[in-house]
Each structure stands twice: as structure tokens, then as C-alpha cells.
Amino acid sequence: MVKLLGATGAAGVASGCLSDGEASPNGEDGNGGNTEPQHGLEDPMSPDVDTIAADPTDVPDPVDWDEPRRHEIEMQTEEYIAEVEDGVTHRFMTFEGQVPGPMIRVREGDTIHLTFDVPDDLNEHLHNVDFHATYGPGGGAEHTTLLPGDGPAEIEFTVEYPGAHIYHCAPGNHDYHISTGMFGTILVEPEDGLPEVDREFYVGQHELYTNGDNGEEGHHEWDAESAQDENPTYVLFNGEAGRFTGENALHAEVGETVRLYWCNGGPNHVSNPHPIGNVFKRWYDHGDVVNEPMRWVEGSTLAAGMTGFGDMELPVPGPIHLVDHALTRVVQKDLLATIEVEGEPQPDIYNPDPDGAPDAGEGEAY
Ligand SMILES: [Cu+2]
């Protein structure tokens, strides 16, 4: 497990792996009530890729056209061994080699011609893609289902309704494929577009169910029993524990307005998005871009299999920690990303040192 809290908060809660003999919060063994010792993982495998995590700054430019367009989109599935954290490997299934899959951005009324492939040199499993942004059987899944090497498949659809929608693999054992990375976002902008912002980020939350404990070194296989219990080993942004924290935190600047796309792949948990140290000036609940967004909400609920998004103002410097406010997922299951906001202090808004005390404002806890 990565260390998620500062020094004052870590000692009592940072051990999700119980191999050190600590009692778990529920008095059991942290393994969904299974009292059998859970060890004997195979050694970590050699990763195929440096990281499986998509770059949260890789967001397509806003729509700048005002007539319907046709988009040629090629998408393929790729399966890779990657590290969840140091010494913990897993075989991920992905769209385009990243978790979440690439964000697609179009305008209401546009047409997408999709060429979908499952190359046999990159895949062991059958895959397809279900776009929640279209009418049609399985959102396209029925006509994109391919065994490795049997493709490509082509479909074409018009995006008839706006919103931020998810796409995901739907092969039968949907939970397995989504859990290990096969989900992403398609943003269908309304005809009049969205408010301009200075910077955008895109993250994907998902639960990883494995046959090991959180932090247990070795190669973790996906585990159907812990999925049945909805008791994930990890809850992650982008497939990797703490990838966007510390020195790899995301960056923004005081005075900007930033938009955050939060794709909840699930496959099971409702998320409770919250930016610690900030608030959503506008929150597009469940990706609804037709109704007025919610205003000044510190979070919301976000169902599994949906993408919500929100805009934040950044009047003061400092970190903004992105969490699911079901905080055990943060403290014990590694869901965390940080936006470091840099710029001049604004003591009229937030003053960490009102009396000039030399130690005020120090400390790492949040
Ligand atoms: Cu799949």
C-alpha cells in the first residue's frame, strides 16, 4: 500500500495489508470474512509497460465546430502486465493500452465511424465496446464482439443526445473486464458547448478485485469471490496506486478554473467524488449537460458506470486531494490523486498564519 496520509495520520491507519499482524477494523482478516490465510501469490511478473495509467491531462480540445461532423475513430484492446504499486503486478485489460481508455469528445448530432480491433498479439480474451452514448444493441457491443485476431469490426452511430457518458467492455463477465481497466469516457457536448475553462483533467475510478491482500507483494490475479463480496483489494485512479500524488501530482495555477472529468468505471461501487480543499463551482451530476449544473457542492454521488464532471476555481495555492468520500477506499485501498495549485498566497481568503506564529501552517495531514 502506498502511504496516503501525512505523518500525523498514517500510523494508525496506513496498513491495509494485514501480514504484519494488525487487526483489521472489522476484526476479521480483511479478506471478506474468509479466515483462511491468503498468501502464496506467484512472484511479481515483469511489467510489459512502465505504467498502465492514462495521463489525466490527455483531454481532447473542446468542440470548436457548429455543424455535425463525422469522426473516424480507431480503437483496439490491449492486455498488459503492469504494476499496481511496487512489487504488485496485475494483468490489465485496456482500450488503447491505458486506464481509463482515451477520452472521446464530440458534439451532439455528430457521427462516429468506429473501427474496433482485438489484435491476437496483444490479447488473450474476447472483447467489445458498449457506448452509453448511442442507441443500439448493447451500445455497439453486440456488433463489436471479437475474439483475438477475428477483427476488425466496424460500426457507425450518430450521437443523438448530449452528456458525459461511459464506454466499457461488455463480454459477459463485464465486472472482470471493467475492473481491470476496460472503461473510458465519451463526452458529447451540447450544441451550444460548455463553459470555457483554463485546464481539464480526466481520471477513472475503479475497483480491483484480486486474490491477494492490499500491498501484498506478488502477481495478483483477478478474483471472482471478492468481486461477489464487492470487497476490492484496491480502489484506484487509473490502475495504479497513488500514481498522481507527491512529486507526480497534477499541476494547476492560482486564478485558473479547472474542470475535472471523473469516470466511475466501478464495476460496483457508487463513488462520492470530493476535492479536499475546494468545492465544485459547477457539478454536472452524472454527466448531465442539459439541466443547470449543481452549484457549490463539495461532492455528489456518482453511480457505477457513469462519468460526472465539475469545475473548480483556484483562488489559493496548495494541494487539492481528489477522493471518494467513502474514505476507507482512500485510507486503506489507495484511491487518491492530487492537484498541486501553485501561485501567490491569498491571505484574505485563506491565511495559515494569522498571528505570525512561526509553526502555523506546517504539517502534512489533510
Ligand atoms: Cu474486454
Q: What is the pLDDT of residue 356?
A: 80
CATH number of 7-13+199-342: 2.60.40.420
Q: Identify which of 158, 153, 155 has the alpha carbon closest to the alpha carbon of residue 134.
A: 158
Q: How far is the CA of 343 from the centre of ligand 1 (A)?
A: 43
What is the maximum span of the chain, computed from C-alpha positions, in angstroms? 70
Count CA atoms within 13 Å of residue 136 on its CB side.
18
Q: How far is the CA of 128 from the centre of ligand 1 (A)?
A: 6
Residue-level length of the chain = 366
Q: How far is the CA of 182 from the centre of ligand 1 (A)?
A: 6
Q: How far is the CA of 126 from the centre of ligand 1 (A)?
A: 6
Superfamily of domain covering 70-189: Cupredoxins -  blue copper proteins (2.60.40.420)
Q: How far is the CA of 16 from the centre of ligand 1 (A)?
A: 29
Q: What is the pLDDT of residues 20-76, one digit of tens each?
A: 333 333 333 334 444 444 558 999 999 999 999 999 999 999 999 999 999 999 999
Q: How far is the CA of 69 from the centre of ligand 1 (A)?
A: 29
Q: What is the pLDDT of residue 355?
A: 87
Say whether 70-189 and 7-13+199-342 share the same fold. yes
Count of CB atoms within 10 A of residue 165's CB?
Answer: 24
320 phi, psi to nearest 5 deg: -115, 115
CA distance 210 to 242: 18
C-alpha cell at 106: 464530440
Q: What is the pLDDT of residue 235?
A: 98
Q: What is the pLDDT of residue 139?
A: 96
Q: What is the 3-state secondary structure (H, E, C) of the chain?
A: CCCCCCHHHHCCCCCCCHHHCCCCCCCCCCCCCCCCCCCCCECCCCCCCCCCECCCCCCCCCCCCCCCCEEEEEEEEEEEEEEEECCEEEEEEEECCEECEEEEEEECCCEEEEEEECCCCCCCCCECCEECCCCCHHHHHHHCCECCCCCCEEEEEECCCCEEEEEECCCCCHHHHHHCCCEEEEEEECCCCCCCCCEEEEEEEEEECECCCCCCCEEECECHHHHHCCCCCEEEECCCCCCCCHHHCEEEECCCEEEEEEEEEECCCCECEEEECCCEEEEEHHHCCCCCCEEEECCCCECCCEEEEEEEECCCCEEEEEEECCCHHHHCCCCCEEEEEECCCCCCCCCCCCCCCCCCCCCCCC
Q: How far is the CA of 77 from the centre of ligand 1 (A)?
A: 8
Q: How far is the CA of 33 from the centre of ligand 1 (A)?
A: 29
Q: How far is the CA of 362 from the centre of ligand 1 (A)?
A: 46
Q: How far is the CA of 170 from the centre of ligand 1 (A)?
A: 6
CA distance 15 to 223: 21
Strands 234-237 and 111-117: unpaired
Q: How far is the CA of 63 from the centre of ligand 1 (A)?
A: 29
- Residue 152: cis peptide before it, omega within 30 degrees of 0: yes
Neighbours of ion ligand 1 (CB under 5 A): 127, 169, 171, 177, 182
CA distance 82 to 89: 6
Q: How far is the CA of 266 from the centre of ligand 1 (A)?
A: 14
Q: What is the pLDDT of residue 40?
A: 82
Q: What is the pLDDT of residue 357?
A: 60
Q: What is the pLDDT of residue 306?
A: 98
Q: How far is the CA of 92 from the centre of ligand 1 (A)?
A: 10
Query: How do the domains of the chain map onto residue ranges?
Result: 7-13+199-342, 70-189
Q: How far is the CA of 309 from the centre of ligand 1 (A)?
A: 25
CA distance 262 to 249: 16
Q: How far is the CA of 23 from the centre of ligand 1 (A)?
A: 37
Q: How far is the CA of 125 from the centre of ligand 1 (A)?
A: 7
C-alpha cell at 224: 471472482
Q: How far is the CA of 171 from the centre of ligand 1 (A)?
A: 6
Q: How far is the CA of 188 from the centre of ligand 1 (A)?
A: 23
Which parts of the chain sit beneath pLDDT 50? Answer: 3-37, 360, 366
Q: How far is the CA of 191 from the centre of ligand 1 (A)?
A: 32
Q: What is the pLDDT of residue 11?
A: 32
Q: How far is the CA of 81 from the centre of ligand 1 (A)?
A: 15
Q: How far is the CA of 254 from the centre of ligand 1 (A)?
A: 41
CA distances (Å), 29 to each of 16, 145, 147, 176, in order? Answer: 10, 39, 39, 24
C-alpha cell at 334: 489507495
